[in-house]
Amino acid sequence: MFEVKPYPEFSWSLSRHKTLMECPRKYAYEYYISHNGWLKDSSILAKDAYRFKKMTNLEILFGSAVHDLILVVIEQYLKSGFIPPESELTQRLRSKLNSAFIDSKNRPELWRERPNHYHMLHEIYYNGVLPQDKVDEIQKRLNVCMGNFLTSKTFTDIREKKEMQFVEAERFRFMFVDGVKIFIVMDFLYRDIIEGKWIIVDWKTGKESFEDRYQLALYALYLQKVLKVKRIEEIVIRNEYLLTGTHKTYQLTETDLLKVEELLGMSVEQMHRFLEDIIQNQPLNFNQFHKTNTIKKCDRCNYKELCDMY
């Protein structure tokens, strides 16, 4: 039977770490206050925080729609050998964006009631409209992403290389490090048997940016700990840039792994400082999660309305 727990289970992820670094108050909303906010008899604050946690924005929505669709196309191809045409894939993405726009504009009450089933875009909730420059940018991405996916190095390998071992196409994975559950979001993983390499693929729907080596090192740590890959030289990380149709590969070192383990330890310790009870994962009083002083962060934050009230 579904058990209602007063506090969520403690786990670590890079995005959780980044949220705490960005703003402790946001971290509180996201990882504690919103807990149980989906239940009918939870407090108004928990319900509000949960609703805002489910809010999205145009770039995030587009990125996650592309990732979900790619996963479906790969799974379908591996099962049946069928590849839908690019125009159909682009249309599926467009429909998803349109439906989120319609939800946000015309069904705010439904989102309020069931934030898990309806979309709300941050841009529309807080400003009433989608900024034209963002719409133009997403339109540009929409026109090229699925075509670039179909001709990408990774999808070409999937179609053409015979000596491949595909590990289940599961995006959310976890491992335990020193008894702490660590979540890792990995887009796609396969093994080139001839070259003796594990290839971790990251689909990028935005512009090329300075790569987050911690994220890459976490992937490698997962392969070593869970899949028992012995040598770091056997692991290749590939970023596929869907906007430009290019890719880059990275080779990590043992030092990268040591650094990420160090970050993990320090970050968990920092998170524990916000707990009243570590075993229960019971947080400190809400007021002890201070707000950021950087107004820019607040402008793009989902919880802005709550912060104006509390």
Interface with ligand SF4 by CB under 6 A: which residues? 23, 25-26, 291-292, 297-298, 301, 303-304, 307
**Considering beta carbons, is residue 50 or 303 the nearer one to ligand SF4?**
303
**Considering beta carbons, is residue 276 or 299 the nearer one to ligand SF4?**
299
Could you tell me the smallest distance in angstroms from the CB atom of residue 101 to ligand SF4? Answer: 24
> Contact, 257 vs 221, CB < 8 A?
yes
Could you tell me the smallest distance in angstroms from the CB atom of residue 291 to ligand SF4? Answer: 3
Could you tell me the smallest distance in angstroms from the CB atom of residue 46 to ligand SF4? Answer: 15
Could you tell me the smallest distance in angstroms from the CB atom of residue 26 to ligand SF4? Answer: 4
Kindly report the number of other CB atoms within 10 A of residue 70's CB atom. Answer: 26
Could you tell me the smallest distance in angstroms from the CB atom of residue 47 to ligand SF4? Answer: 17
CA nearest to 190, candidates 244, 251, 234: 234
**Considering beta carbons, is residue 23 or 58 the nearer one to ligand SF4?**
23
**Considering beta carbons, is residue 21 or 258 the nearer one to ligand SF4?**
21
Maximum Cα interatomic distance, the chain, rounded to a whole number of Å: 60
**Considering beta carbons, is residue 53 or 204 the nearer one to ligand SF4?**
53
**Considering beta carbons, is residue 31 or 241 the nearer one to ligand SF4?**
31
Could you tell me the smallest distance in angstroms from the CB atom of residue 310 to ligand SF4? Answer: 9
